[in-house]
Structure 1
Amino acid sequence: MTSLERDTRQDIVDVAERFFRQIGYQKTTVADIAKSLRMSPANVYRFFDSKKAINEAVAERSMGELEALVTAIAAEKRPAAERLREILTTTCRLNSARYLDNQRLHEMVACAMEESWDVIRAHVERYDAILRGVVADGMAKGEFTAGDARTATYCVRAAMIRFCNPLLLTQCGALPGPGVDEMIDFVLAGLGYRAAAG
Structure 2
Amino acid sequence: MPRPETDIEATRIRIMDAADRIIQERGAISFTMTDLATAVGMSPSNLYRFFESKDALAEAMAGEWFAELLVIMEGLVSADMPVEEKLYQFFAKRVVIKRARYEEDPELFESYMELGDEHFEVIKGYVDLADHYMASILAEAMEKGYFKGLELDTVVSLVNTMVQPFCNPRLMMQMMHLATEERLRIVIGTILNGMQAREPQARAKPGLHIAS
Q: Structure 2 length normalisation: TM-score?
A: 0.73
2:110 corresponds to which residue? 106
Out of 184, 190, 196, the position equivalent to 1:186 is 190
Task: Report the alpha carbon displacement of residue 159 of structure 1 after superposing the two structures with TM.
Answer: 0.8
- Name the larger-Rg structure: 2
Superposed CA offset, 1:72-114 (max 9, x none):
122111121111110111122222222355123212212321x
Superposed CA offset, 1:129-176 (max 9, x none):
001111111212x25234422221221121111222111112344789
Q: Structure 1 length normalisation: TM-score?
A: 0.77
Amino acid at match of 1:46: R
1:63 equivalenced with 2:69 (yes/no): no
Q: What is the correspondence of 1:170-181 to structure 2 with a 5 Å cutoff? A: 170-173=173-176, 179-181=183-185
Q: What percentage of aligned pairs have identical amino acids?
A: 27
What are the ranges of 5 or more consecutive residues in structure 1 without an aligned counterpart? 193-198
Q: What is the correspondence of 1:8-27 to structure 2 with a 5 Å cutoff? A: 8-17=11-20, 19-20=21-22, 22-26=24-28
Q: What is the correspondence of 1:88-167 to structure 2 with a 5 Å cutoff? A: 88-99=91-102, 102-113=106-117, 115-140=118-143, 142-146=144-148, 147-167=150-170
Task: Report the alpha carbon displacement of residue 45 of structure 1 after superposing the two structures with TM.
Answer: 1.7
Task: Verify the 8 A CA contact 2:147 2:155 in the aligned structure 1.
Answer: no
Task: Verify the 8 A CA contact 1:55 1:108 in the aligned structure 2.
Answer: no
RMSD: 3.1
Task: Report the alpha carbon displacement of residue 126 of structure 1 after superposing the two structures with TM.
Answer: 0.3
Task: Verify the 8 A CA contact 1:24 1:104 in the aligned structure 2.
Answer: no
Amino acid at match of 2:193: A
Helix, strand or coil at the partner of 1:46 = coil
Task: Report the alpha carbon displacement of residue 189 of structure 1 after superposing the two structures with TM.
Answer: 2.2
CA distance in 2, matches of 1:106, 1:188: 32
CA distance in 1, matches of 2:59, 2:31: 14
Helix, strand or coil at the partner of 1:23 = helix
What are the ranges of 5 or more consecutive residues in structure 2 without an aligned counterpart? 197-212
Task: Report the alpha carbon displacement of residue 190 of structure 1 after superposing the two structures with TM.
Answer: 3.5
Superposed CA offset, 1:33-90 (max 9, x none):
4455443332112222333432332123212321121111221111211111101111
Which is further off, 166-175 or 122-131? 166-175
- Size of the alignment, in residue pairs? 189
1:48 corresponds to which residue? 51
CA distance in 1, matches of 2:84, 2:178: 27
